[in-house]
Amino acid sequence: MATIPKYIEIKTATGQRAAFLSPRADKVKEAYPDCRLNGESTLEFLLPATSAKIEYLTPECQIWAGGRVYTLLKDEAVDTVRDKKNALWAKFMTVERWAELDRSYVEPSLSNDPLSPIPSDLAVIIVGGGSDLSGGLYTVGSAAHALYAILQGSGWTMGTCDVTGTHDLEMEKVSRLQLIKEIQNIWGGYLVWDSVNKVVHLRNANTWQNYTGFQIRYKKNLEHITRTQSNKLVTKMYAFGHDDLDVASVNGGFKFIVNNSYTPREYIGVYKNQDIYNAQELLEKATAELSLICRPRYLYQTKMVDLRTLPEYSHEDFSVGDMADVIDSDVAPDSPRVRIIRHKYNLFQPWKCEVEIGDPQERLIEKLKASFGTTGFVDSKYRGNGQSSGYSIEDLTIEDAKIKSLTADKITAGTITATISILGPTITGGLIRTAASGARIEISGNGIESFNSSNQRHGINAAPGNAAIDLYYNGSQKYGASYNPVDGKVHMFGNALDPFLYTNGDFSDPKGTWDFTAAAVSGLNNYALANHTHSAYVKTMSSQNLRMQSFQGATNYVEIWLGTTYLGKVDLV
């Protein structure tokens, strides 16, 4: 049998009893708890503005009422109101204390990703393929694993978490409450709060269907009922997951699914869920989604008399989230069994109440968006189990996403681990290098430079503005080549960095000493002899007195002389 509360209990921030507020002694009135499933939970009440007990209603106090604990730590917490009778009232607008998790953060950060073991400040990275953050209690990648991890150090614990699926959770600079809501968005299910014991549950919509036999019945407890019908039908649905994943591989080659159980006509829709990486899971979620929206859906808003305070109805019981029967042959001819999604009642006169039951997505989503506009609880995308879901680009880490119109000034930190192909655009300025130190190649305003592990120039180096290239070995220049626009020749330098060869077109002018002792030259022809009538052709390079003399006879050969010194002979084959 339900009991009628006699008072609201006020406690200090540390939990010490401070005051009681009752309708008779303190003139408390219009005290209305209002709880929504997957939404906000509030308590509002009026107290005479002259009441001495207002001093106990501090921003950090605890307000215990109706089996829940509320807090005043919120915007627009207290109004001072003058009514029609010229009386002054203080209106207190509280929220259930799980809202305080919106001022709690995971510090300094949290990650189980081996690729990002130390993420940025206030970042949370929990991936399915990472390390275990629960000490073996829960499966890595599950909602229970993620929820358990982010609640550590918050003062709250996790109760029952029976939603399924393996997903990742990555967010930056958001509160624990936003993380909890994102887990609900990604994995689905219903959030159920126990603010007295500071426990949060995440329940599977298919397995959590608590039914106590409670009925909302015409001519019994029903005062008023409104049934809202939603006729936004979809009978053919295309399904897409992460990075345009589709269901063709598990759906006979088709990227769409069809459900004509209500009408044979075709109404096309698209289901998108970036949190799904597996085609089979995408098919299951899209099938469940389509089964909900292929036919009309109903929301029932009722005003009823809660008879549980009467002895003959003491066996009846219900809570937000329970299943209930609607018995009204005219308004609900099929007597549906639907979920209680909202309960608003007068705390001291609980028989005066409003109940919302059913779950048409459009109405519920708009209500939740209005309720959590400041924290972005619900986005306008749906999850495959029929519950609202969504994701936001802002404050999230996005992997393998397709982002259009991304400008460089938006990328300020991080490491790119993927292979990237750049087609067409130009990269300008800065330093490009293969490593921060050690053996590497650098491209910058200084040109192309090569270094060894000792940070010495080693390999090819080329400077901009000069038609030159140098070859280094362990910091020492060994070879060079440059173009001299004055004489129009390419100059080649050796180990002593003196030029040893000039070349211009078909003519080469060697300098210095050339050692042909170990040379074996083949493939030469009688080009010089064929173009000269005399038996010997002599070319003298006067600057170094290098002379080459060819001979024609039984054998063809070339003698090379330096002044009067014979250097060697090359046979012409």
DSSP one-letter string for 304-336: EE-GGGSGGGTT----TT-EEEEEBTTTBTT--
User: Is the Cβ–Cβ distance between 562 and 546 less than 8 Å?
Assistant: yes
Average pLDDT over residues 205-227: 81
Question: What's the maximum distance between 2 C-alpha atoms anywhere in the chain?
Answer: 139
Give yes or no for residue 382 having a pLDDT over 50. no
Average pLDDT over residues 211-215: 84
Q: What pLDDT band is residue 418 in, cutting at 50, 70 and 90?
A: low
Is 147 exposed, middle or buried, given 0-12, 13-18 or 19+ CB atoms closer than 10 A? buried
Report d(CA 294, CA 286) in Å as an integer. Answer: 12
pLDDT at 310: 64
Give yes or no for residue 376 having a pLDDT over 60. no
Q: Is the pTM of this model over 0.85?
A: no
Name which of 541, 559, 557, 540 is nearest 549 in CA terms.
559
Comparing 359-373, 446-460, 504-518, which segment has the lowest mean pLDDT?
359-373
Average pLDDT over residues 468-478: 80
Average pLDDT over residues 448-475: 83
Nearest-5° Cα angle at 36, 89 to 6: 50
Q: ω into residue 499 within 30 of 0, thus cis?
A: no
Average pLDDT over residues 104-118: 93
User: Is the Cβ–Cβ distance between 292 and 361 less than 8 Å?
Assistant: yes
Average pLDDT over residues 313-319: 74
Q: 267-313, pLDDT tens digit by residue?
A: 999 999 887 888 998 998 899 889 888 998 877 777 777 767 666 66
Q: What pLDDT band is residue 32 in, cutting at 50, 70 and 90?
A: very high
Q: How many CB atoms lie within 10 A of CB 417?
A: 7
Superfamily of domain 209-230+296-359: Baseplate protein-like domain - beta roll fold (2.30.300.10)
pLDDT at 461: 83
Q: 168-210, pLDDT tens digit by residue?
A: 999 999 999 999 999 998 898 999 999 999 999 999 988 999 9
State the average pLDDT for the chain.
Answer: 79
Give yes or no for residue 411 having a pLDDT over 50. yes
Name which of 5, 33, 3 is nearest 353 in CA terms.
33
Average pLDDT over residues 130-139: 95
User: Is the Cβ–Cβ distance between 391 and 193 less than 8 Å?
Assistant: no
Domain boundaries, the chain: 8-99, 105-203, 209-230+296-359, 232-295, 438-499, 513-572
- What is the DSSP code (8-state) at residue 218? B
Q: What pLDDT band is residue 437 in, cutting at 50, 70 and 90?
A: confident
Q: What pLDDT band is residue 476 in, cutting at 50, 70 and 90?
A: confident
Say which residues have a Cβ less than 8 Å from residue 425's Cβ, sequence separation at least 6: none
pLDDT at 267: 96
Strands 199-203 and 157-161, sheet pairing? parallel
